[in-house]
Structure 1
Amino acid sequence: MKKKPQPAPETNTANDPVAVIGQLADQSAQKHYYGLQDANLVLAEALRELRLDNEFQAGPDLLAVVMAWSTLVEKFNNTPKQAVEEMISYLRRPELKIPMADDEFNMLEQQLYSDADDAAANINEPVDEAETGADSIVPGIARQQLIDEQIAIVEQLADQAASEGLYGLQDANMLLAEALREAVNDGSAGFDVDFISVLSDWPGLLGQYRKEPKSGAAAIINFLRHPQLKMAVGEDEFAMLQEQLATEVVSESEFTQDLSGGAALEAFVVQDDKTKGNESSSPVSRAAQELVDLLLLESELVSSYLKDIAFGDRESVLNGLQQARDELGRLTNAAKAAGFEGLAQVCAHINLNMQRFLEQVDNFTSERLDLLLEWLSQIQEYLPSFNEGHAGQLVVAGLTDEHWAVPLSFEEMAAVLLKIRSESSAVGEDYETARMETATDEDVSLALPDNVNQELLELLLQELPIHTQQFSEAVQRMQSGGSEKDVDLAQRVAHTLKGSANTVGIKGIAVLTHHLEDILIACAKEQKLPGRGLANSLINASDCLEAMTEALLGSSSPPDDAKAVLQEIIDWANRIDKEGIPDSDTGESPSGIQSALGNVAETIEESAPAQVQATLVRVSATQIEDLFRLSGESIILNSQAQENTRRMKKQMQAMQVQLALLQQLGAELEQLIDLKDLTGRSFGTVGTGFDALEMDQYNELHTASRRMAEAAIDVREISLDVNKELGKMEEILDSQQRMVVDAQEVVMQTRLVSIATIAPRLQRSLRQTCRMTGKQSELTLVGENIMIDGDTLNAMVDPLMHILRNAIDHGIENEHERLVQGKPQNGQITFEFDREGNNILVRCRDDGCGLDYGAIRAAAEKQGILQPGQEVSKEELKHFIMRPNFSSRTVSTQTSGRGVGMAMVRSQIINLGGTLTLDSVQAQGMTIELRVPLPLSMTYALLTYVGRYRVAIANKGILQIVYSGVGEIVRLDDQETLLLEGNTYPAVRLMDLLHVPHNRKSQRTYSAALLVQNEDKTMAVLVDAISDGLDVVIKSLGHYIGKIPGYIGATILGDGTVTPVLDIPELLRIPARAMADGYAEQLAMDEPESMLPTILVVDDSLSQRRALEQLLTDTGYRVRLARDGIEATEILAQFIPDVVLTDLEMPRMNGIELVSHIRMHKKIRSLPVIMITSRTTQKHRQMAEKAGIDCYLTKPVRDEELLMKIQSLMELGTGKEREIA
């Protein structure tokens, strides 16, 4: 259905090129092309905004856009369907900044195609000459008005040149103006878009000429030779004009002086000397005078901030300029709202200069301050006489001064003066009307001003949800038969919203609440409650306010029906102004639609918002994320500190064992020394006259053994003390860990929001769906005070609203059917929220008719999903409604029938990692159960190994841990099954879920089984031994790694290793896991670790073994260690390494003996061997080479040399690790 025509805003087409597009809109409406009309109005509004913000020049940019668009309109008249796509593409151009969402562009495109169909039909039908002329004249009018605009500018330039004595330049301008005027008079102004753009560059050529007369003169003559100008001027005349131009040299100082003086400004304005003396200002209305007084007050505030600046105090200059700039921004908004668009444009230009002054505050001088104060005094002189013909010069006087950071250009000044003159008489008229009659797109705009006060905006965003909810509840109570208190409350809230929105500059909310307040004031004066029609309109307005609030908060797009709702409220306000509040409920509302109310679960007390507001602090999402990250890192670092403490305790225990062994060895040594038969003579003794029986004889060996024993005891005491300190440190770390965890939980609370925050959106969706379906329903929320993660709640809103709409449209019967079945008149819908572990559980119930299995089966057979007569259970049938493009409806409506509702719900819930189940009883209703996991930043996890890989299993979905010996693993129907306490659970191995090969010679029993809830069934997941259980911080896998099914993320353990965190329920939901064995066989062949070369290091020195192990591991080798030759031979009996590194001197079996052993055995005879020793003599080297050493290196060995030797031997050797049968 086509929209009714909307009148284009009245504009002055003589001086405003944008008015051309407005005229095109009017002509489109006359031909009933309402989509084309909307397109023209949208573009016109965008160009006005861009021009006001100084983002489009008044000349070149604007004229080029207008001309290009006019050409597209002409194309639409000839080949409409081809032009539609080009029009939409043109409107989407980024530089136009048209504030429309994709769905709005799509809707406009559909309307244009509808117009195109009509236009195509009209092209094929015979039409009279009048209609044909109207079609063809549209672009012609646009061109003519654009050329008229350019002629006015050129004539002003000619006057300016004459006043400066530049008569050659005056002649050039007059030639151009005459050529343009003749083209218009002859009806041959067929200039294309490119030439219009070139034509608008004429003022720039003149500016260049003033700087460089000779080259500039040539450029001017070349321009005048343009073929589309068709000038009847000979080449000799062009030559004379060029010579005259080249000789008229003006100094830069003279040009600057003239441009900044009053004479230059006078030439900008087209004045009629005969009538100037007879001009008199038109009377100004009281409303306009109030606006003028307000603007004067704002300008005085700007002046006061500037006058407080104290030069020499940099802080004073900064504060003064910033405060003045902020206040100037409010003056700009106020001027624009009052209709002083020319003044607003100049204010924006001054604001830009003040921004430059702030950026270069050290260069801000008293001359620049005087410029600002002088301009403000001119504004204060202009405002009281704004409707006088000469007053506009005061707005732009002095703006070309070189002391400005961004002086106003010549052509910009001309355009501003033309605008000020054209709007001066209209400002007073705009406010003569007590109330607007028609809503426009600008009236419902939610665009924020460029210089919006961020503090005020943040306060508004905090208050908006509270106030809009209060307003909505008060209006609903009024419709249900409330009291005068509800009218007063709604009126106060509307007044508060209006004031806040006006302060910040959000016009859409300010305009709507202004008219709402007037209506409610009228209700209060007449002491009447709104009737049914007015109450319905107020409900629509409250829904629109809530939608606007959500759009400002970024949770949804602006409401599509805002303009229609505002028009409805304006109609009511005008009607009440004339007739008063209707006496009965029979009065029809302008919309004529019956609104259905939903019950609100709880009514918020009037005092609650103030209490909540007092405790609110607005914090950016980035800061919250930083707090999460820091708290998580703190937990990780604390875990690492605890892990290091545990390792130190283990080392201390090992040291105590070694100390005990040392004490034992010391005692044995002491006993050996004390043996009387150790020696017949004491070393170093002095004759004393006593024999050994009469007195113990001690020598140096006795003394050393005693000192060693005492040192061992001292070390043991010290180790005990250190162990005690480590115990205390462990207790401190445990306490710190608890505090860090508590701190993270507190931080997590900042992201939690109450489910009640989405209640208004659900209630609004209920009312809208009831209006569209003509049914009556009530929505009850249970558990709405539960706090959950805000992102999760926002993601759940859309599925919940789909379910709500489906319940009304498909489930709830109409009023008559419900009464026949003995059900309440209004349908009952309940959303019950609950927390279940780390999941949020939502049960959506309705008391409607339930699923129609017959209709579902018929739709399935029609789509070929089922064959006629095919047996299928109700359980299978109910899942069909969640298939894409499946609908039991034969006709689609705005609310259903397209087959995307429940399919979309299921898809969105699965994307959130949740599950969806259905339960329906025919004629009794349906229950949809959603179970959605909440996001985890920290969870309890079980550590286990899968093959060689250590993984962490999140406790999500785990019901019970069953250890070996409890229950029995058997095979039933070729499926491993866990028998436990009379129940059977399908079993699956974690290794198979992750596609990890077994690599076992024989099947090994699993030491633990995890009972996991997987949607509507419980399964057993078999794992190897669970090594530990601990709280872990879950980290994202990074930007470049997408979501991996079955993996929540990764965690950093206390030893610094990164371990994946598994989501077992999600792993179980991934299909095609039965093919894991074949995939595992492939992995078994290509396991990364088995591909690494292996080196056997044999050395009796622990430090040497560790140093070589670290070097080789970091290089990319696998390393096996042996303490001597005997241990090395035992290892070589199990596998063959690629290279052997051995020491020469070792206990039990030295290096020479080890090499001889290797060369004697056939399987390892070719194994490369490198000997590393401290012996440097030729004798030792020859002995080693004789035994079969491949390379002899002496300590210390450079790392690079050793690695090069290993690499060269590996390239020649055959040592590949393999099992030995």
Structure 2
Amino acid sequence: MQMSDFIEALRTEIEEVRADLAGWIATICSVAPEDLAFGDALDLYVSQIERTASTCGMLGLRGLESCCAQVQECLVVIVGIKAEERSAAQAFFDIWPDLVLAYLADITNFESAEHLAEHFSQPSCPAPVDAEHNLELIIELTAEPVLAAYLRAEAEAEELERPRVATDEDISLALPSDVDRGVYEALLQEAPTQAAELSAYIRNIVDGEATDEDMAAAKRIAHSLKGSANIVGIRGIATLGHHTEDILEWFEQNRTRPPLALTNALLDAAACLEQMIGSLLGIEDAPTQTQAKEILQSVLDWASRIHSGNIEDEIDAAPLALAGLEASCLVSTEITALDATFAIETEITDLDTTPLIQAENVDLNTTLPVLIETAHRNEMPRVLTETVKEEEASLPSNVTNQVPVAPTIRVPVTTMDELFRLTGELSVKIGQLTEQVKQTQQRTNGLLRQSLKVQQRIFDLENLVDIRGLANLRDTRTSHGDQIFDALEMEQYTELQSNTRALTEEAADTREFSRRIEEDVAQMGAVLQQTQRVQRELQYMAMTTRMSPVGSLAPRLHRNIRQTSQQTGKKAKLIIEGEDILIDGDMLNNLVDPLLHILRNAIDHGIETPDERTRAEKPEVSTIHLVFSRRGQTVTVRCRDDGHGLDYSAIRHKAIERGLMQAGQDVSEEELSRFILLPGFSTRERTNEISGRGVGLDVVRDRLLVMKGMVEVRSEFGKGCEFLLRFQASLVAQHALLIESSDQIFAVPSYALDQALPPAAGEFVSIGSEINLRYQKRTYPVKALSALIGYDSGVMTSEIMNSKSVLLVHVDLDIHAVLVDRIVDGRDLILKDPGRYVKKINGVGGIAILGDGTVAPLLDLAELLRLPMPQLIETAPSITSDDPVTSARRGILVVDDSLSVRKSLVQLVSDAGYNVKAAKDGLEAITLLKNFTPGVILTDLEMPNMNGLEFTSHLRARPDTRELPVIMITSRSMDKHRKQAELAGVSVYMTKPYTDTDLLGHIHSAIGGVQ
């Protein structure tokens, strides 16, 4: 870079900040010093002058550096003078930037230097210089500028031989022992977004969609990463960033598109930088030493070829695509790292500092001087200090395409949490006020109606008094002077009449006051509505401080696709839609692992090899669509690939092998697809580094459960597979359905519901001893909410159940129907923790306070349905099984924690003519035995809460069940399991797979042939 380039960049910067300088000095000269605006304007003006002075010093413009120092002295003077004197001094500050611009237009012009120097000796200057200092200033302004030594050294270093071999030290991520924690924190805040942007720009280059600005921005980010890492002392990031910048700078200056092999090297470099930074944050493993060294070596090889000029034969002859923009000359110093703004999305908690939330962006122009001061204060090594100076020296070259950004502040997390709590309190209070206004409106209307009634009564009274008074006065005469009048010739009033008419007037006034009160209440209602809108906006803005765009995950997801494709030898590209959707930062962090697992699984299991896709007449490169959408507080993520889809035959075979279903059992494809989410379920015979180890997709299910969400799998053979994730954007504020049961209002989160049905929307049928809801060709087990929460629901007849609303609730991989008295409303709620004095209540995820002060517990229906409980809905007389003699047959109790196995056993035994009840584990079975005496018990071995061995031991210890036959059905076939079962008292031990005939034979033998 030549001296003229630096000077032109500095001139451009001053040109762009000239309007800001004028605005700041106008504030300084017009408001009182104690005014907050005065201090802000003064700080901004001084900061800009200091940055300009520092840049001038490094460029060797000593005269202009002295001018900046003189401006600072003038600012010190005007702070202590009167307002009218400050106003007179404003003209001096308005003129000096124009004189500086004229001087920088040609620094060899003596006249422009003289005019600038004389401006500081004018009477209008708050701190004028004398003639001697004026002459010195002219001499300095006309002296030839000399670049700082380190800037010259950098240019000379480019001419030296470049490193050609990557070493272990070049990829080291070790921190120096004397690392400055504040500087390191700044790196961790900025670097993740920088690396993500670098990957995005390079992907644009690879796809042929890059603009000239993209190429410049990519180089700028690589330069910034290099500089920041050098300051901290992390050599691996600094070295890789430095040589990546060299490559990008060459192509930016030559305006050509890199060849495919080089773009792959750039993608690898960007991915490696991301992974390195992720490892510093503790969210990823660091790249292996071999992998990092290979990537750096590739970048070094390309950089050497570019430097030696051996790349011209490989580059595309066509110019770099401008994506529809008109070509314009590039300036190599167009954008540098120092004026770039970076979104802060990582909350630093592993340092010895208070965690902070960056509301929007941070401008490094304001933070760089602090870093420089910190570097000098801690006596950092000279090479690092010089690097900091190098960063500041590149400041002028940033201003060409600088986009103004809003000022930002940094706020502690505790403050934001308190703000969010207060917005919730405000929401509750406004809700209560709304209810009070409604009640006041109703009472005002009642007052008006009552006033009309009183008015009518008074009117009747007045008529009665007038009629009777007239009769009494008919024969009465009254003298008035010399004249005598009878009652018909002059109105005469009794005291009763006078009081009646006065009462009529008072009633009219009361009615008028009532109307005015009604108008005032109506105006209060209008103001309250406006307050509600403001409150909702305030609440939304408070919530957004916790939110992050899902697009922040994009670089990591793209990198995952690229790495998995390389490992499997397949070709895939990822298309992400809805990157601007905001999600709570904690939720976003929890979403990373599920998405990575799903994407890896899509490539390894779902997508065909390029040859297979060609034979299937599909594009060689597979496309994976990742679509984010949000409706209210519910976020939906769809991940769809165009591979061959799920192999249902292999899933069925594996499910039978593991005893999850019977060989002849009729299971739908939808139910089969849920098996792949079970722990340890894999159709792969051999494991590899990508999948097939029996872990992965169960992580998706478990993580979504933690997020209070759900996952579904859909597939079509030959066309691909789709994963559907649904969860709340935030667990602090949720959209919920308000319901009523047993005279109590509850809230149920919307994400947990499949559907909400009105009364009599489906048909209630009996399957064995269980009541099920048949709706749209599907059958759902039914439970009453009143029973789930501990109320006595009584006997549910057909009429009672058809009068209740139904919630279809997601429970793991199944859907249950829950009966509620009525559905009240749906609304967004601010959730509160019950507090430390309230113990954990099963099935309650929080509480919400409604507008009228009602406390509504937020129910986790899935947790309630998983808990052991008695039979909640007894078979009603009006709902009986098709065979009328079934109730007279001997009973069977089925105990198994698997819903699919439990259903299949109930169906099998019920079809054989037995009366059947089912329980999920031993504890629930013991509860059922209080009111049900079976002839035989079918139990699984492995169950939660109480397993089959414990349950059998309990039965043998009770006098009433000591002789009860127990058939244990399990996949455990080892002798030690069989011996444990015999010791516990199991009558028959059956291992999977088994035939229905064998099982029915054992049941018949155990009951003794009695039907």
1:902 Cα deviation after fit: 0.8
Secondary structure of 1:906's partner?
helix
Amino acid at match of 1:839: T
Contact 2:564 2:690 in 1 (8 A): yes
Q: 1:573 aligns with which of 300, 318, 328?
A: 300
Query: Residues 1026-1065 of structure 1 correspond to what in structure 2 (within 5 A)?
Result: 1029=825, 1031-1038=827-834, 1040=836, 1049-1061=846-858
- 2:554 aligned residue: 759
Amino acid at match of 2:274: E
**Candidates 778, 782, 802, aligned match of 2:572:** 778
Q: Distance in 2 between matches of 1:799 and 1:746?
A: 28
Taking the aligned partners of 2:777 and 2:688, their CA distance within structure 1 comes to 52
The Cα offsets for residues 929-984 of structure 1, whole Å up to 9 and x where unpaired, read as 323333376667665542232334566677987767x8687656577788999999
1:664/1:1062 CA distance change after superposition, 3 Å:
farther
Query: How far apart are residue 526 of structure 1 and its match?
Result: 11
C-alpha distance in structure 1 between counterparts of 2:519 and 2:253, whole Å: 82
Whether the 8 Å CA contact 2:196–2:274 is kept in 1: the answer is: yes
1:546 is displaced (CA, Å) by 1.9
1:497 maps to 2:225: yes
- CA deviations on 1:440-495 (whole Å, 9 max, x unpaired) are 39942478622429788766666453235324654x469x9x99999877555422
Distance, in Å, in 2 between the alignment partners of 1:642 and 1:915 is 36
Q: Structure 1 residue 651 and structure 2 residue 378: aligned?
A: no
Q: Matched residues in 2 for 1:963 and 1:872: separation?
A: 29
Q: 1:716 deviation in Å? A: 3.0
Which of 832, 838, 845 lines up with 2:640 in the alignment?
845
Q: Answer yes or no: is the 8 Å Cα contact 1:531–1:586 preserved in 2.
A: no
CA distance in structure 1 between the aligned counterparts of 2:719 and 2:822, rounded to whole angstroms: 50
Matched, 1:450 2:181: yes
Whether the aligned pair in 1 keeps the contact of 2:842 and 2:864 (CA below 8 Å) is no
Q: C-alpha separation between the residues in 2 aligned to 1:1005 and 1:713?
A: 55
Conserved? CA contact 1:959–1:1010, under 8 Å: no
Q: Is the 8 A contact 1:467 1:493 kept in 2?
A: yes
User: Does 2:516 match 1:788?
Assistant: no
Aligned residue in 2 for 1:991: 786
Aligned to 2:244: 516
Give the match for residue 1009 of structure 1.
805
Equivalent position amino acid for 2:829 in 1 = V
Paired amino acid for 1:465 = A
C-alpha contact (below 8 Å) 2:634/2:750 kept by paired residues:
no
The match for 2:169 is 440
- Between the two proteins, the alignment pairs up a number of residues equal to 644
- 2-structure distance, mates of 1:652, 1:472: 67
Report what 1:466 is aligned to. Answer: 197
Question: Alpha-carbon deviations, 1:818-859, whole Å to 9, x = none?
Answer: 445444434443333444565333332334343344544554
Q: Which amino acid aligns with 1:1036?
A: K
- Residue 512 (structure 2) pairs with residue 717 (structure 1): yes
Counterpart among 543, 554, 564 of residue 769 in structure 1:
564
1:889 paired with 2:684, answer yes
Contact 1:940 1:954 in 2 (8 A): yes
Contact 1:632-1:744 at 8 Å conserved across structures: yes
C-alpha displacement of 1:789: 1.2
Percent identical among aligned pairs is 31
Find 2:710's aligned residue among 896, 909, 915: 915
Alignment of 1:561 onto 2:292: no
Asked whether the equivalents of residues 834 and 846 of structure 2 are also in contact (C-alpha less than 8 Å), the reply is no
Change (3 A) 1:724 1:981: farther
Letter in 2 for 1:1035: L
Q: Which digits, 9 at most, give the CA deviation of each residue in 1:652-696, with x for residues without a partner? A: 33444554565567678778988979xx99xxxx99999999999
Alignment partner for residue 739 of structure 1, among 491, 512, 534? Answer: 534
Change (3 A) 1:740 1:579: closer
Residues 1182-1197 of structure 1: pairs in structure 2 closer than 5 A:
none
Question: 1:1055, CA displacement in angstroms?
Answer: 2.8
Do the aligned residues in 1 keep the contact of 2:247 with 2:306 (CA within 8 Å)?
Answer: no
1:635 aligns with 2:427: yes
Q: Distance in 2 between matches of 1:719 and 1:539?
A: 76
Deviation digits for residues 601-625 of structure 1 (CA, Å, limit 9, x no counterpart): x999999988997446666573654
Q: Distance in 2 between matches of 1:510 and 1:1054?
A: 56
Higher strand share: 2
In the alignment, what sits opposite 1:1075? 871
**1:928 equivalent in structure 2:** 723
CA shift, 1:497, in A, is 2.8
Which aligned pairs between 1:244-393 and structure 2 lie closer than 5 A?
none
Q: Which amino acid aligns with 2:741?
A: V
- Cα separation, partners in 2 of 1:763 and 1:718, compared to 1, 3 Å: same
Structure 1: how far apart are the matches of 2:814 and 2:803? 23
- Measured in 2, the distance between the counterparts of 1:521 and 1:853 equals 52
SS at structure 2 position matched to 1:444: coil
The 2-side partners of 1:849 and 1:892 are apart by 20
Deviations 1:512-540 (A, max 9, x none): 21233356668899999888876655433
CA contact (8 A) 1:457 1:504 kept: no
Q: Deviations over 1:46-82 (max 9, x none)?
A: xxxxxxxxxxxxxxxxxxxxxxxxxxxxxxxxxxxxx
Higher helix share: 1
- Conserved 8 A contact 2:745-2:856: yes
Match of 1:176 in 2: none
Change (3 A) 1:477 1:485: farther
1:650 maps to a residue whose letter is Q
- Per-residue CA deviation, residues 764-794 of structure 1 (Å, 9 max, x unaligned), is 1112222333x12212315244513143343
Structure 1: segments with no counterpart, 5+ residues? 1-292, 295-300, 317-431, 588-601, 1079-1221
Structure 1 residues 779-788 or 1040-1049, which shifts more?
1040-1049
Other structure's SS at 2:693 match:
coil
Counterpart Cα distance in 2 of 1:986 and 1:674? 77
Quote the offset at 1:903 in angstroms: 0.7
Shift of the alpha carbon at 1:802?
0.4
CA contact (8 A) 1:991 1:998 kept: yes
Q: Secondary structure in 2 aligned to 1:884?
A: coil
Q: After superposition, what is the alpha-carbon deviation per residue over 1:959-1016, rounded to whole angstroms, capped at 9, x for unaligned? A: 987767x868765657778899999988764434544335899986876635657589
Question: TM-score, length-normalised on structure 1?
Answer: 0.43
Aligned-partner SS, 1:452: helix
- Distance change in 2, residues 1:612/1:878 (3 Å): farther
Give the SS at the match of 2:181.
coil
Q: Give RMSD over aligned pairs.
A: 6.1
Distance 1:445 1:563 in 2: 16
Change (3 A) 1:556 1:728: same
Q: Is the 8 A contact 1:813 1:848 kept in 2?
A: yes
Q: Which has the higher contact order (CA 8 A, sep 6+)?
A: 2
CA change 1:657–1:560 in 2 (3 A) is: same
Residue pairs, 1:542-561, within 5 angstroms: 542-550=270-278, 554=281, 556-557=283-284, 559-561=286-288
SS of alignment partner, residue 932 of structure 1: strand
Q: Cα 1:865–1:581, aligned 2, differ >3 Å: closer, same or farther? A: farther
Alignment of 1:865-876 (within 5 A): 865=660, 874-876=669-671
Q: How far apart, in 1, do the equivalents of 2:310 and 2:839 lie?
A: 64
Output the amino acid matched with 2:443: Q
Kindly name which structure, 1 or 2, has the bigger radius of gyration based on alpha carbons. Answer: 1
Q: The residue matched to 1:547 in structure 2 has which SS? A: helix
